Amino acid sequence: SLTDRLAGVFKKLRGHGKLSEADIKAAMREVRMALLEADVNYKVAKDFCAKVSERAMGQEVMESLTPAQQVVKIVNEELTALMGGEEAARVQLKSKGQTVLMLCGLQGNGKTTHAAKLAKYYIKQGHHPLLVACDIYRPAAIEQLKVVGGQAGAPVFVLEGEKPPVIAQKALSYARDRGYDIVILDTAGRLQIDDVLMQELVQIKERVEVDETLLVVDAMAGQDAVNVARTFHEKVGIDGIILTKTDGDTRGGAALSVLAVTGKPIKFQGVGEKLDDLEVFHPARMASRILGMGDVLSLIEKAQENADEKLAEETARRMMENKFDMNDMLAQFAQIKKMGGASAMLSMMPGGAGIDPSQVDEKSLARIEAIILSMTPAEREKPEIINPKRKRRIAAGSGTRVEDVNKLLRQFEMMQKMMKQLKKSPKGFARRLSGMM
């Protein structure tokens, strides 16, 4: 897989100590091969490697004590940029009136499923979406939308004997009358791109004001998905992409190329067949996932910027080797103080995903620190020996409650579990991690 291939390239680089231009060139050739094998668009792969090379040949890398790590960091940043940068691209909802979302794409790519997933997603946020059956050519399609709409808890607007543009228009006035604030159009797809399909989508857009045309594409189709996206964008105009079946996509080619080719960002990704299997697409997370490292990289990076480089490297190494204990956690807190912002730090740690960053204020950080300080060295190394009696002692010593001690132990256990998984299977780890966020 791409993850394994890249890991191989970086491992080789690491063996080199100081890097020469030739080392970097050789590494970039391999990165490019790895990207092409992952079904990344040729030009995208070429431009990507040119950009990374240029940066990697710069002083910051050549003169760094950890050049390989710097290259990994650059690759991570450029992968993120390739998919849209740090900020996730989101669907903009109107604050007043109806936001109309039109889902389009080839047959079987996941339009109907994702219409319902979106409905459920927005219902959870307190919205009132209306699903609209504009795929009228196959009776089964309407039935399917009714079923998944029912599961999502969203009503389905059906109008027999009318063409999709009229259906969309009537659905919109229905939504207006009944106070639905989001109208999701499920349109028909074909097995191949054809003019009739494109025309119908254009006609819908002529009839109703579509706020976002979202192209639903199957990640598993790789470069084909990207070509489909290009054509839809040229003929219909799209505002964003829903990349589906990323759970089955082992290559990542579509995710990496589609923005560069169409200029339109991925806004959501489908990660399974269930209606809850929908995630906002975060380029940085996808990049980390491709690199197979959770967000350990940004952790290293932040630490390098602000704190003792050696300690950061040591921590990252111990995390990878699954030796991270409460002593490390304590040492980290000292760094965190220097780095200003516990929540920023925790959100970057692999296990930090188990701790809600918004709930971490400096006070609770001080409390955690006090709890760890009240543990004996043996307890810090092996928290599993902490029995109820020890818990009471620790709580008393730190001026906290046994509940606080329990909570910390649970969080720590979760961190360790995740790190174990990181070691065993970077991919599975990333999946769990992204599932938690």
Q: Site residues (CB under 6 A) for ligand GDP?
A: 105, 107-113, 189, 216, 244-245, 247-248, 270-273, 277
Of all residues in this chain, which one has the CB nearest to ligand GDP in the complex?
A: 270
CB of 337 to ligand GDP, least distance (A): 42
Instruction: Tell me whether residue 231 is annotated as binding.
Output: no
Instruction: Tell me whether residue 256 is annotated as binding.
Output: no
Q: How far apart are CA 240 and CA 91, in angstroms?
A: 8
CB of 221 to ligand GDP, least distance (A): 12
CB of 197 to Mg ion, least distance (A): 13
Q: How far apart are CA 206 and CA 210, in angstroms?
A: 9
Binding site for Mg ion (CB under 5 A): 111-112, 141
Instruction: Tell me whether residue 85 is annotated as binding.
Output: no
Instruction: Tell me whether residue 106 is annotated as binding.
Output: yes
With CB cut-offs between 5 and 8 Å by kind, which of Mg ion, ligand GDP, none does residue 244 bind?
ligand GDP
Written as six digits, the tokens of 403 are 């509940």
Instruction: Tell me whether residue 194 is annotated as binding.
Output: no
Instruction: Tell me whether residue 112 is annotated as binding.
Output: yes
Residue (223 or 244) nearer to ligand GDP, CB: 244
Residue (218 or 239) nearer to ligand GDP, CB: 218
Say if strands 278-280 and 266-270 run parallel, antiparallel, or are unpaired: antiparallel
Instruction: Tell me whether residue 108 is annotated as binding.
Output: yes
Instruction: Tell me whether residue 186 is annotated as binding.
Output: yes
Residue (23 or 279) nearer to ligand GDP, CB: 279
With CB cut-offs between 5 and 8 Å by kind, which of ligand GDP, Mg ion, none does residue 41 bind?
none
Residue (100 or 433) nearer to Mg ion, CB: 100
Instruction: Tell me whether residue 406 is annotated as binding.
Output: no
Residue (273 or 305) nearer to ligand GDP, CB: 273
Of all residues in this chain, which one has the CB nearest to Mg ion in the complex?
A: 112
With CB cut-offs between 5 and 8 Å by kind, which of Mg ion, ligand GDP, none does residue 294 bind?
none
Instruction: Tell me whether residue 105 is annotated as binding.
Output: yes
Instruction: Tell me whether residue 110 is annotated as binding.
Output: yes
Q: How far apart are the first and last CA of the chain?
A: 24
CB of 135 to Mg ion, least distance (A): 5
Residue (31 or 242) nearer to ligand GDP, CB: 242
Residue (162 or 273) nearer to ligand GDP, CB: 273
Residue (238 or 372) nearer to ligand GDP, CB: 238
Query: Chain-centre distance of CA 404, in angstroms?
Result: 31
Q: How far apart are CA 96 and CA 31, in angstroms?
A: 47
CB of 239 to ligand GDP, least distance (A): 18
406, burial (CB in 10 Å: exposed 0-12, middle 13-18, buried 19+): middle
CB of 38 to ligand GDP, least distance (A): 19
With CB cut-offs between 5 and 8 Å by kind, which of Mg ion, ligand GDP, none does residue 273 bind?
ligand GDP
CB of 189 to Mg ion, least distance (A): 6
CB of 218 to ligand GDP, least distance (A): 8
- Annotated binding residues for GTP: 105-112, 186-190, 244-247
- Annotated binding residues: 105-112, 186-190, 244-247
